[in-house]
Amino acid sequence: MLPLYTSEEPSELNKHPIFYWNHVALEMNRVTHSLNGPQTGPTMSSRALGLLHLAIHDAYFAIDKGYKPYLPGLEPVLDAGETAEDAEQAMAGAAITVLDDLYSRGGAGISVLANHTLLAHLKNQIDNYPKHIDTLSVSYRFGARVARKILEILGVRPGEPGADSGRYEPKSGRFFFRDEPLNPVRLLPVDPNNPSGPEKPVRMYHGPFYGTTTRPFATHQQHKLADPPKDDDEYQEAVREVVALGGAPGRPKTVRSADQTVAALFWAYDGANLIGTPPRLYNQIVRQIAWSQVKADAAPGKTTAEFVRLLALVNVAMADAGRIAWREKYHFEYWRPLTGVREHDAASGPGAQQQNGRKKELDKDADPFWEALGAPETNTNKISFKPPFPAYPSGHATFGAAAFQITRLFYKKERDLQFDANGPDEIAFAFVSDELNGISRDLHQPYSQDTPIQDQPGDVRTRVVRHFESLWDAILENGASRVFLGVHWRFDAFASEDVIETTNPDGSTVYRDSKAVNYKTTGTRSGEEGQFPIGGVPLGIAIANDIFEKDMTPPAELGLPTDPAQMVVDPASTSRDALTKSSNTNIR
């Protein structure tokens, strides 16, 4: 049994089919991370959401005339003889097909109980869909066929590594990512179906090959980053900052404010029990913003089309953000603060050399015993941790910037909002994070899957409503939040001269008001000519800009037909004559 755990949002949202299927996907994200199921981690969960929403998008817009489909040959064909119900049935067929494909299979390391629980939860969610699903209808079967084509083109194929660690081994030199000193291994059951049986130590490395083996959704450019700093003034200041703002409570140099601690936890979603990963959080926020942007006089069909389009853009942007960020992470293999601070002195770490001579004191900024606040193991009694992949760039910063920038661009165009595409907006919102909802807690004992979290003893986190003046403001705080946890350097998110107002004597920094932030500073990249952005925020913004400017079209490297008259969905597989009542449509 998996206890019910609901997020705060208007109850009307899930009465809309597109929000309902998005809700189901976010539920599966939450549940699979609570059970060690499939599609876990930020890479695979962002890809799962991208696959789902792209399939829904094309199934819907092959019938409705709102926006151009992604797949060539799927021309809009809705006419007077068809209804919105046909498009909704196609949407259901696409959604269920993708969800079944992603979550109904077992696999190595996934217990039979976890698989059965996921299947039961998915079935329950589908059964609770507020309308009748006609699985025999032409429109439903068409949606399913579109989904299978999306999965065929963009899904992780058999034999590909996906986010698995494979035979990856981290390097041992200075500045290289390595095992977390507080949690170098995790003890996992030898047999996942016998959790109380023998255990084996496992070193966790998430997605070392993901960025170079998976295919792009809708980016047309390479999107590379500048080299991160090493042993220069920027790096020294970043060390002092993360010690001051990201240290564990009680450390002598920790000066993080209560507001910064709230920001750190608000944005966390580090694969936590009952909570899931950052793409879930960003979807939750976009849902709320989309609902707030509905015009009172908007026609229902127009509103639904906007919702379908926006959620596809957001999740396609995050799917590509995950692929590109992880490619860059394992290109640089840059260490995280927990290693960097502990080994800051040149006489520390595996690469340090023994030398005879005069006694040398440790560098004043080094601390071999430093501890970070850490990514929270919410709703468990486990200790906080360092995410098991390199620091630069920040995945949070890249995902959040991609999701929020493409949301900004969408409403700038659709609502004719007057703000600079690379500057502050006026899309304000308030949100209650599942990390700080008055329910989530740090348990005093192991989590019990058979008991609602509300009935399990632990330190309950205070419910906090966090307000943002704009999505631009959210992009900044989301990136900075990882410094406040002590799991990232500030340059993992952005160049400090773009966002840092001043540096205090204790090493902490004051961040500029978001209205004065521009993310424009660039740097060099070893072996390549030109200037490149610094950190995940400008990377995510560039990814969103690329996708939006190209109208979310498939990149050439996918090898799809460029002539809209060429079909990519087999016309023999599903007849749409009864639905389209047209003899000259490209897709049948």
Give Cα separations from 474 to 102, 130, 267, 512 (angstroms): 30, 33, 10, 13
3-state secondary structure of 152: helix
Q: Please give the Cα distance from 74 to 483 (Å, whole number).
A: 45
Q: Which positions ≥6 away from 250 have C-beta within 8 Å?
A: none
Give Cα separations from 473 to 76, 275, 401, 466, 497 (angstroms): 37, 23, 11, 12, 17
Q: Which positions ≥6 away from 460 have C-beta within 8 Å?
A: 438, 439, 440, 441
Q: Please give the Cα distance from 229 to 456 (Å, whole number).
A: 45
Q: Which residue is listed with tokens 């399990």? A: 456
Give Cα separations from 458 to 11, 311, 438, 444 (angstroms): 29, 36, 12, 5
Structure tokens, 353: 């050399």
Q: Do 582 and 57 form a contact (C-beta atoms < 8 A)?
A: no
Q: Please give the Cα distance from 493 to 521 (Å, whole number).
A: 12
Q: Do 315 and 53 form a contact (C-beta atoms < 8 A)?
A: yes
Q: Do 355 and 231 form a contact (C-beta atoms < 8 A)?
A: no
3-state secondary structure of 289: helix
Could you list the beta-strand ranges (E) of 432-567: 441-443, 458-460, 466-468, 500-503, 509-511, 522-525, 528-533
Q: Which of 339, 424, 437, 314 is nearest to 379 (CA)?
A: 437
The amino acid present at 413, given as its one-letter code, is K
Q: Please give the Cα distance from 513 to 502 (Å, whole number).
A: 12
Q: Which positions ≥6 away from 246 have C-beta within 8 Å?
A: 256, 337, 372, 373, 483, 484, 485, 486, 487
Structure tokens, 314: 């957001």
Q: Which positions ≥6 away from 160 have C-beta within 8 Å?
A: 213, 214
396 in catalytic set: yes
Q: Please give the Cα distance from 408 to 549 (Å, whole number).
A: 13
Give Cα separations from 336 to 230, 270, 341 (angstroms): 13, 15, 9
Burial class (CB in 10 A: 0-12, 13-18, 19+), 499: buried
- Greatest C-alpha distance within the chain: 90
228 cis-preceded (ω within 30 degrees of 0) = no
Give me the half-sphere count of Cα atoms (radius 13 Å) on the Cβ side of residue 419. 20
| Catalytic position from the list 23, 57, 223, 396 | 396
First to last CA, the chain: 42
Catalytic positions:
396
